[in-house]
Amino acid sequence: MTTLTRRIVSLLTPRGRDVSSNAETSPVWSCNEWDSLEEVVVGVVDGAMVPQGDAAVDAIIPEHAEWFIKKYGGKPFPEEMIEKAGEELDGLAKVMTDLGITVKRPQPFDFSKKYTTPWWSSRGLYAAMPRDVFMVFGDTIIEAPMAWRSRYFEGFAFHDLMNDYFKRGGRWLVAPKSTMDEEFYDKNYDSRVPMKDNKKQFVLANNEIAFDAADFVRCGKDVFVQKSNVTNDMGIEWVRRHVDPEFKIHEVEFGDLHPMHIDTTIVPLAPGKILVNPEWVKKLPPIFDSWEVLTPPPPVISEDTGLYFSSDWLTLNMLSIDEKRIIVEEQETPLIEALKKWGFEPIPIPFRNFYPFGGSVHCATLDVRRKGRLESYF
């Protein structure tokens, strides 16, 4: 074989790396949503800012929340909201520490500082939702490019942690940032007309790579992703090219007309068991035919819960400690009862005051280490 053909052959060979050999040794290892949790990052709300309406923010703000953005956009979240949510995050961290799980928190970061790129200026958002920015595929942490201008530098609030994981042998892959200039957003998108010719419309053009990590959900070798107002075709293709063939990326679409993040739509809880949002999921793709589909009761929405950046379904945004134990918001009693009936062991915690920041327990966390191997469940 000549040198030239040998080089071509090696290019054609898949990365030739046995990811699973790092399951025991890497500080980063997580392949699904339910293996026994060993290490987790919990977000913080310190210094959280309300985003200024840009096109991608406006695309998902519920009508009833427009007043909040008008009043506080570009300003800090009210101090009292930060205090109460911060206490709940600390409570979540303590519950997991008490369960023997290693809990890490992001470093302090000034989100109020105005920054200017060659195309626009913005202030930051927060470090409350590590789930949105990072995802773990086996021994690799992937950092998402994001799609909101206010989130352009958000990853840096976690870089002390990421550098430490890297030093200890973890792999860290950062997706290319887009310009987020005017062309990045589709000027013709109208959030009041989310369907055209039977096709779902999204605010992002597809001229640069965009995704949030929370649009992906992992079931071992099979990973599911939805296109959304923060994730476009190029973003999905970028992830696919970097994780294939160890992981197979399946694109799915459900009934949420203003999608952003898949973790209130389909929630895998254990091998062969998936919770689905009954409002948006009428039918799962055939790959789930052998899985048991669990349909939750409606969410508990109290009058004083400000859902400014999300739907009513934060209810489903739970974190599995293992195949049985699930951390869930304590006021969601119908869901808690349903989980018990299905054989799970819910761990209720107060988390209502975090909802107005746009997520619940799943959003607020990033599972960096879980036990287990990379397996196929289909």
CB of 214 to ligand DAV, least distance (A): 5
Residue 213 within binding range of ligand DAV, rule CB under 6 A: no
Least Å from the CB of residue 365 to ligand DAV = 11
What mask, x for binding ligand DAV by CB under 6 A, covers residues 214 to 253? x---------------------------------------
Contact between residue 367 and residue 104 where contact means Cβ atoms under 8 Å apart: no
| Phi (first) and psi of residue 44, to 5 degrees | -130, 155
- 359: contact with ligand DAV by CB under 6 A: yes
358 sits near ligand DAV (criterion: CB under 6 A): yes
Closest separation in Å from C-beta 335 to ligand DAV? 14
46 catalytic, yes or no? no
Per rule CB under 6 A, is residue 313 in the interface with ligand DAV?
A: yes
| Residue 232 or 317 with smaller CB distance to ligand DAV | 317
Q: Is 363 a catalytic residue?
A: yes
By CB under 6 A, tell whether 134 contacts ligand DAV: no
Binding track, positions 249-278, relative to ligand DAV; x by CB under 6 A: -----------xx-xx--------------
CB of residue 371 vs ligand DAV: minimum separation in angstroms? Answer: 25
Closer residue to ligand DAV (CB): 161 or 260: 260
Minimum CB distance to ligand DAV, residue 63 (Å): 14
- Which residue among the candidates 186, 215, 263, 363 is catalytic per the annotation? 363
Q: Which stretch binds ligand DAV (CB under 6 A): 4-12, 151-159, 191-199, 309-317?
A: 309-317
> How many positions of this chain bind ligand DAV (CB under 6 A)?
13
Residues near ligand DAV (CB under 6 A) are 132, 214, 260-261, 263-264, 310-311, 313, 317, 358-359, 363
Which residues are catalytic, by number?
Answer: 212, 261, 363
